[in-house]
Structure 1
């Protein structure tokens, strides 16, 4: 080692070990300054500089002293009278959870943005490039989506004036800091030093320094996922080509209207909750053994991409102190807990947008009728750059068309009868979206929820209607609990629905069971109304108009509507816009049914978990991991009886091969424990069997098995949690169907080289660095509470795409600190080289939990690595 390098290395080492732990980063930053000055004279010191950058992640200005050219401390520099820039403390505890503390909102965002980027930078960078309308400019792909986002957001100046500047200063500071923190990481790492692989972005053209406007565009994009940015809607917007010559085609000539029901049913397959859903249980004092509130949060989010969760703890002393998880790139805690309150969400299938059918002027296809007068359809042309194969850029323009309701759609991609300009009826379909501005209120609402000291204050924070798509659940240390279907819902009354769904829109609503609501756009009587309790200018329902429960009992939801969230006291009398999926009086998901049955059994103490009734913390964790398969509980006995009868039927004997196959399949099912634990054998057979039944009788939009003949006991609204059930074995078609689906299940498993009786953990797994990690849980569509979404592939159900994700059970005892047991099923980091790439996944495989450290003593005890003081002036 060169003498000067050896001298500096020794100097670094001695200074590091002399400083106090909490000053480590600042002190190393001072050494970094010394090294950087010396590198001007000694090129051999570059490796040390690189090492210093990796270790410190601190700015050059993190020290209040100057050094001379020899590296000796110079005279101290007086600090500015008013602190400038960002300053945040970052500590990590077990499993890589960052705890960020700062004195202001900008600094809190700065620390969080940097800590998050260390694990998952590329995930959010990808989404920012998409939301900013620059994807085609950087990659040459998807120019139409860029043009749509350019239309939605306007120019950067327009977006800043109309959207970003409308945020409260606190929110702007937090977003600005988070963007700066992410850019700090990018600047230190460099594009060529970023992670590689499927979730990496090393050297990618879509990586660039961005600002708070870019980040806010991404946050707005998230708020529109269930409406304007939903695939079906986005495709319909981009299908619009403008008005051709006005030609009204008769229904008879078109000859396609009869197929509309089938085409809409196919659309239902893409929007029903198979990928994104959730379970939640909130308990008050009357439902817990301790008398404190308790909450289970079990969102079923994607395991890849922007829908993943990321755990963190964010603190501004005396102002904000929240822990839990946020979606990728969101600078606030989305689902989590504080000293006094815990909260979670489930995906809510209420109405987010309505379609409007307007009648076109037969003499001018750019005009539509409104209350007997012609209104002009507005146009706006936007431009974006598209990268060519030779590296040049060309400007592409697109014109978008709007009525006063919103963007014009062309639904011909669903069915020609409801598409075109005009449709066969001489009309046009246009869209009004309740979530276009929800993002302006989201951050404010989530921050204020986190500042609540009880469920009453939590409820008040919801007055912002900043929630784009979720049911709300909360519990507090005082024994209170809250449920509310409180999200952005257009203020359309049931009377309006009854009166205004006419023409094509009436057909669409009927076939889709109100998943798509369309109104008569020619009458002002069909406009969204005003609610004095709603945020100004929103035309959505205000807080007090939404279904909600504030009390001390038990509530739960698994993505059906609000109706049975308290199964003992149904919420009724609300218009269908508050929840079309399992609306009042309609059949419920199997997952909804098992949720409420498990709650009732635990409250009664009849579930075998423990002798005492009501819930303890351990009881709730046990319920979470029961892994019962409710569909099997209500049909498997009948399936086995049908199988036994078929094998014994000598009047119509099976050929030897079929007999052997059926006998083995049914034998495996008979021995199966009717669970999806890692050691359950035979779950794969029932999974494929039930999938076959759903293929035959599944409802496209309601996500349930519907048949007048299949069920032994049909659905009744007077017993919605126990009906339908059983198979009507007296119907010959049912017996034939069961045998057919059993043999088909065996065939599918055989084709995938999956043994019928292999342990479930060997069949369903997540691959991490070439090793399979067993994953318990199973398909929510067969009534598994702990839902996992994954398709059968060669060798099994490999690499789930969604399901159990960030799970938390939170309660309180007599201490000042909340008790929170959590698990992040997919683990914290997307980087295969990280030690936190699969650590929690392996813990989940063992049905383990992480005690999330919240109070200072617990954080110190669980801390890994050194404290980082991150500063930027």
Structure 2
């Protein structure tokens, strides 16, 4: 029985908000799919249809022209057939096992998740599948794109249907919980009481327990949102020069494959008219704007799951105590097919173990101390409960309804669907209001439960990870997730009004820390730690958070040099986005140079390399522009500092011995700052880190003073395109995700992706300048494979045409009208 079956079907109907045939304004045409497709500059498709099926059809066809192979490959994984169709080299048996366990067979998934959806969602998704299938039929598998992301002549290419697309979207929902790193491994590593390592029956010593701290902190760091970060600013009329709302959306998503963006404009006249970007393979706009509202998201650090410590029956290791009664742990065998090297198939089986909370997990991947059934204490196991098990199907109704909002009242009301798996929401509207909300899937665990139910192994986990990992007592019913009457029925999540939010005519911002300092002049306080343990109330913030707030304050005051007049315009917002200040350098570089000045003459090889590094850093402009010289030196220097000091889950150095001005919650934007030069250990640390930076760059054959645009590049069809921005760890707002390799920082995997700056005026046409950094197509032969990448390199923008007259003026090529019988 798949894990989803533990959710009662009647409750699931309520979760989806649709056990009826409501169509959200959809004409019920059974005759044909029909859509109009126009493209404007840089290949942006504008899809218009009379109904939801037609809209999905046109969008699916246009999307497939640019990115068919990306989604086709992901659907192979979502069907749990990757090992069968791609083999062990291209597929993943572990992934297939996990999602077959979580969602069951395709037929089971359809009955439980797809069939209860509103008609308009089913029509939209079915239309998208039909449009993609039309593209495949017209193109032929032999003519599909080639290249690393292509699928020409691939045996695993096939037609798809609406259920395939929803399974793919559901799988992506788990990237904030069960489908990430160590958690995924922990579910798969559980092997049952007979096959597990024999458990130690003696409690570890205090020294042994202390020794696992770094491993647990690394576990927590893996689910820190800094890795997947984003920035967002929503501005109200008090801080914009035009008196309208204004928004910056700057998600840091992958550049290819699942999780990447695709630009589009989707219209059903009078029903839905939204532009922006969707995640690849999604049939709706995720981050975007309509004529009255603009919105964006950043990944939130709130807890999406909890662990439960189960006390085992000493007479039966497949039972655990719950309120004084024994409950069963149920084994479930899951079968998949896997292709061998000779092309034949074999059946593989994996056994999962399920409690009332969810799967039993084995955290030996964190530390061997957590191996065994039972664990080291001789009495316990750990189970996982995931808040996002049923979130996915609520996502489409949520984002469609958000896109239909005509003001913030309607936008905020839509958020109550709780179909958002992992994001902060930021929005601004035409009237000049701004909104921030952490209105997403968060388990209903109260602070009193955290105070009372976190004990035993759970207390060990919470203490070592600063509550990033929450472990509750699974033997007591009072430690179960509670019920919020405002939340979707049966979800055991917090309802919207119980979650952190701020509505203002000033501004709100977020760069992946908690809700606390969405606006430092209006801090949000008094919420349970599970709503944002990373950067929670009174904790040190990311350097990206800090530089963002610093730049906002400077722009409001008119002191940033962009414009003498205070307040935001679209132009000054774009200057802020592309400023590429390196905030950590602003905080510490003067002190680093002071230390280097004392090395005259250098006494050894480390000091010699340190002086060499400082010679470059002294003339560096402290930015990460393509013509900046020295970014690479500082980047590797700070990397070495972070590895040698105490680094918290915020990705920040929180070793107070390092800083000259210690962190204080009363001034969380400006502190900590400077290096404490009175401590010789800090001198030694700086010299060693500078030396390591020089050595790493020399080993990678990167010149210390090379322009950043020659060092950090995207290679597209052998063209090296300079990429500005850089690591968020050194306080660059426009983060780029790429590590040092031979020759530099080559081919970023993510970071600045779809960026939008949006405002309004007296017309009905929103004003939006956007950029999709990787460009809108993954086909190497497409003219839109690298065109926006070049624009980004030059700090340019694309004006997104929204109103009819704008689309007509910007249209490239002929209008395509497509249709087919259902």
TM range (shorter): over 0.9
Maintained 8 Å contact 1:147/1:383: yes
SS at match of 2:462: helix
Note the 1:668-687 alignment, pairs <5 A. Answer: 668-687=616-635
Deviates most, 413-422 or 742-751: 413-422
Aligned equivalents of 2:301, 2:205: Cα separation in 1: 36
Aligned equivalents of 1:663, 1:715: Cα separation in 2: 29
Partner of 1:368: 320
Partner of 2:509: 556
> Which of 123, 131, 148 does residue 70 from structure 2 map onto?
123
Write out per-residue CA displacement over residues 660-712 of structure 1, whole angstroms, 9 at most, x where no aligned residue. 54433212111111000111111111111111111112525221102131100
**Against the structure 1 CA distance between its residues 144 and 254, is the aligned structure 2 distance closer, same or farther, given a 3 Å change threshold?**
farther
1:742 equivalent in alignment to 2:690 = yes
Partner of 2:47: 100
Partner of 1:307: 259
Partner of 1:69: none
Partner of 1:76: none
1:289 equivalent in alignment to 2:238 = no
Write out per-residue CA displacement over residues 47-102 of structure 1, whole angstroms, 9 at most, x where no aligned residue. xxxxxxxxxxxxxxxxxxxxxxxxxxxxxxxxxx9661200111110000000001
**Against the structure 1 CA distance between its residues 161 and 662, is the aligned structure 2 distance closer, same or farther, given a 3 Å change threshold?**
closer
Partner of 2:3: none
Q: How many residues align?
A: 788
Deviates most, 155-164 or 327-336: 155-164
Post-superposition offset of 1:550: 1.2
Note the 1:396-411 alignment, pairs <5 A. Answer: 396-411=348-363
Aligned equivalents of 1:213, 1:251: Cα separation in 2: 49
Post-superposition offset of 1:247: 5.4
Aligned equivalents of 1:689, 1:254: Cα separation in 2: 35
> Which of 585, 589, 592 does residue 636 from structure 1 map onto?
589
Note the 1:467-506 alignment, pairs <5 A. Answer: 467-506=420-459
Note the 1:262-277 alignment, pairs <5 A. Answer: 262-277=214-229
Partner of 1:257: 209
> Which of 289, 305, 313 does residue 337 from structure 1 map onto?
289
> Which of 651, 654, 659 does residue 603 from structure 2 map onto?
654
1:704 equivalent in alignment to 2:652 = yes
SS at match of 2:59: helix
Deviates most, 413-422 or 739-748: 413-422
> Which of 437, 444, 460 does residue 507 from structure 1 map onto?
460
Post-superposition offset of 1:399: 2.3
Post-superposition offset of 1:360: 0.4
Maintained 8 Å contact 1:120/1:830: yes
> Which of 111, 136, 139 does residue 161 from structure 1 map onto?
111
Partner of 2:35: 88
**Against the structure 1 CA distance between its residues 254 and 560, is the aligned structure 2 distance closer, same or farther, given a 3 Å change threshold?**
closer
Write out per-residue CA displacement over residues 709-750 of structure 1, whole angstroms, 9 at most, x where no aligned residue. 110011111111111100001100101111111121111111
**Against the structure 1 CA distance between its residues 586 and 390, is the aligned structure 2 distance closer, same or farther, given a 3 Å change threshold?**
same
Partner of 2:22: none
Write out per-residue CA displacement over residues 156-189 of structure 1, whole angstroms, 9 at most, x where no aligned residue. 2221111101211111111111111111111222
Deviates most, 241-250 or 770-779: 241-250
SS at match of 1:148: helix
Post-superposition offset of 1:416: 2.5
Maintained 8 Å contact 2:177/2:304: yes
Partner of 2:9: none
Note the 1:352-501 alignment, pairs <5 A. Answer: 352-425=304-377, 426-501=379-454
Maintained 8 Å contact 1:275/1:802: no
Deviates most, 753-762 or 311-320: 753-762
SS at match of 1:610: coil
Post-superposition offset of 1:535: 0.9
> Which of 779, 785, 796 does residue 848 from structure 1 map onto?
796
Aligned equivalents of 1:517, 1:82: Cα separation in 2: 49
Maintained 8 Å contact 2:79/2:106: no
Post-superposition offset of 1:114: 0.9
**Against the structure 1 CA distance between its residues 390 and 293, is the aligned structure 2 distance closer, same or farther, given a 3 Å change threshold?**
same
Write out per-residue CA displacement over residues 335-365 of structure 1, whole angstroms, 9 at most, x where no aligned residue. 0000000000001010000000000000000
SS at match of 2:166: helix
Maintained 8 Å contact 1:272/1:700: no
1:607 equivalent in alignment to 2:554 = no
Aligned equivalents of 2:692, 2:704: Cα separation in 1: 12
SS at match of 2:317: strand
Post-superposition offset of 1:210: 1.8
Aligned equivalents of 1:494, 1:268: Cα separation in 2: 20
Maintained 8 Å contact 1:647/1:659: no
> Which of 803, 807, 819 does residue 871 from structure 1 map onto?
819
Give 5+ residue unaligned stretches, structure 1.
1-80
Larger radius of gyration: 1
Post-superposition offset of 1:871: 0.8
Aligned equivalents of 1:427, 1:660: Cα separation in 2: 55
Partner of 1:667: 615
> Which of 806, 813, 820 does residue 754 from structure 2 map onto?
806
Post-superposition offset of 1:260: 1.5
Partner of 2:24: none
Partner of 2:57: 110
Aligned equivalents of 1:255, 1:413: Cα separation in 2: 20
Partner of 2:471: 518
Aligned equivalents of 1:130, 1:622: Cα separation in 2: 41
Give 5+ residue unaligned stretches, structure 2.
1-27
**Against the structure 1 CA distance between its residues 317 and 253, is the aligned structure 2 distance closer, same or farther, given a 3 Å change threshold?**
same
> Which of 711, 735, 747 does residue 787 from structure 1 map onto?
735
Write out per-residue CA displacement over residues 433-473 of structure 1, whole angstroms, 9 at most, x where no aligned residue. 11111112110010010000011110000000000000000
Partner of 2:767: 819
Aligned equivalents of 2:803, 2:417: Cα separation in 1: 30
